[in-house]
Amino acid sequence: MTVLLPGATLGVMGGGQLGRMFVHAAQRMGYFTAVLDPDESSPAGRVSHHHVQAEYLDEIGLARLCGHSDAITTEFENVPADALARIAEHRFVAPGAAAVSIAQDRALEKAHFTRCGVPVAPNAVITNEEELAAVADDLLPGILKTARLGYDGKGQVRVKTRDDLRAAWEGLSRADCVLEKMLPLAFECSVVVARGRDGTVVNLPVQRNLHRDGILAVTEVHPGCVPEALAQRAVQATRTIAKGLDYVGVLCVEFFGLADGSLVVNEMAPRPHNSGHWSMDAADVSQFELQVRTLAGLPLVQPRQHSPSIMLNLLGDLWFARGADEATPDWAAILALPGTHLHLYGKLSARKGRKMGHLTLTGATPEAVRATALQAAQLLGIPAF
């Protein structure tokens, strides 16, 4: 495939906020864009040059997207891998269906991590009664996760006993699951890499993350936010995972730092990631520009962080902080704080748990950024961290 220069059209499967930010990055660089999403009001579809309103496996819709696009990517991992395989018969697709299909299945994902030599938490795959009965005692307490279609804490149940485990599996409709042993965590972190068609790999700095109720709440990025030795191991592990997939595109891998100083991989996302949003304001190349570059075949350069940064996720709960009726937060008060960068995703209505936007804070020092971030959190009603 030849390099696609500005003026070409880049397509994306999925019209959510990640697609919207990809579209903005592509348009800023001079590309036309096309989005396939069934929602007529999808955040990405509303700002793209072309919006194909269709289901992800709709043959006519896929043909229309291919007709508009010179190359196509995806903005979330639950786009059917079959759809990516179909459009790959006509257009360059990154990431490819094979890599996405592995990311869509926790059992396949963990097997890939193990093949790559990256440590995982002790676990067992449960697909039937025999495998349920064979679960080792030392995997409890643990977290039972559906093998497919789980994200932001969905499809996950904490279990302490065998009775809990059986009840949880029944509650998940006996879906294929993975039971992971609960480990003593010290912190969570993630790494975003971009890998080109020629095998070139670049990465963002390691990002330290805080989750609440299974949803990312805070990301902190500055030298020392993760112990340097562990940060280097996380970056190398992510590069190895990407190479093992023969991956092209942007990939995020999440890790657990354990109390004993070791590191285990949690999961991967074959796309830009919530924890990488800070790069839009605190790095010279954002994760979305990297996505554009990998899709178009442009050169990849190692991003440079120019400011310490903290990202606060803005969930729909904030729109109901003052009562049952939806009310817009006081953005003027937030933007009066130094180094604040507000990103709202263009969603037409708020609901609790829905990702409505994010706030990036930058400053001269980690201490200054943290102080401002805590001010912003207090103004918004976000718990301190």
Q: Mind spelling out the 3-state secondary structure of 325-359? A: CCCCCCHHHHHCCCCEEEEECCCCCCCCCCEEEEE
Q: Are residues 149 and 198 in the same domain?
A: no
- Do residues 213 and 352 both lie within one domain? yes
Q: Give the CATH number of the domain where residue 285 resides.
A: 3.30.470.20
Give pLDDT, residue 151: 67
Indicate whether 4 belongs to any domain. Answer: no
Q: Which residue has the tokens 């926790």?
A: 106
What is the predicted pLDDT for the residue at 152? 64
Residue 299 lies in a domain: yes
Q: For residue 258, what are the domain limits?
A: 185-380
Q: How does 300-317 read in b/e, with b if 16+ C-beta sit within 10 Å? A: beebebebbbbbbbbbbb
In this predicted structure, what is the pLDDT of residue 323?
82
Please check whether residue 189 lies inside any domain of the structure.
yes
- Residue where a domain stops, chosen among 139, 162, 181: 181
CATH code of the domain covering residue 133: 3.30.1490.20
- The residue whose two tokens read 């996950």 is 156
- Do 195 and 283 fall into the same domain? yes
Instruction: Write the DSSP symbol of residue 8.
Output: B
209 and 316 together in one domain: yes
Shared-domain flag, residues 164 and 211: no
Q: Give me the amino acid identity at 271.
A: R
Pairing outcome for strands 92-93 and 71-74:
parallel
Question: Is the CB of residue 226 less than 8 Å from the CB of residue 370?
Answer: no
Question: Does residue 167 share a domain with residue 198?
Answer: no
Q: What is the dihedral of CA 186, 223, 240, 120, to 10 degrees?
A: 0
Q: Is the residue at 98 inside a domain? A: no
Instruction: List, as one string, the DSSP characters of 273-312.
Output: -GGGTTHHHHBSS-HHHHHHHHHHTPPP----B-S-EEEE
Does residue 110 belong to any structural domain of this protein? no
Chain segment 253-285, per-residue pLDDT in tens: 999 999 999 999 999 999 999 999 999 999 999
**Which residues, given as ranges, of the chain have pLDDT below 70?**
1, 150-153
From 156, 181, 206, the end of a domain falls on: 181
Q: Say whether both 136 and 245 belong to one domain.
A: no
Q: How many CB atoms lie within 10 A of CB 4?
A: 19
Please tell me the total count of domains within the chain. Answer: 3
Q: What is the phi/psi pair of residue 26, to 5°?
A: -65, -45
- Which CATH number is 63's domain given? 3.40.50.20
Whether 113 is covered by a domain: the verdict is: no
Q: Are strands 32-36 and 9-13 parallel, antiparallel or unpaired?
A: parallel
- 168 lies in the same domain as 205: no
CA 30, distance to chain mean position in Å, is 25
35 and 145 share one domain: no
Domain co-membership, 205 together with 316: yes
| Residue 170: count of CB within 10 angstroms of its CB | 10
Domain annotation covers residue 115: no
CA distances from 296 to 19, 31, 45 (A): 16, 10, 20
Q: pLDDT of 316-357, one tens digit each?
A: 999 998 888 899 999 999 999 999 999 999 999 999 999 999
User: Pairing state of beta strands 177-181 and 156-159?
Assistant: unpaired
My answer on whether 363 and 287 are in the same domain is yes
Inside any domain, residue 1: no
Please count the helices (runs of H) and the strands (runs of E) in the chain.
12, 18
One domain for residues 284 and 372: yes
138, 165, 181 - which closes a domain: 181
| Chain-centroid distance, C-alpha 290 | 14
Residues 6+ apart with CB under 8 A from 220: 207, 208, 209, 210, 309, 310, 311, 366, 370
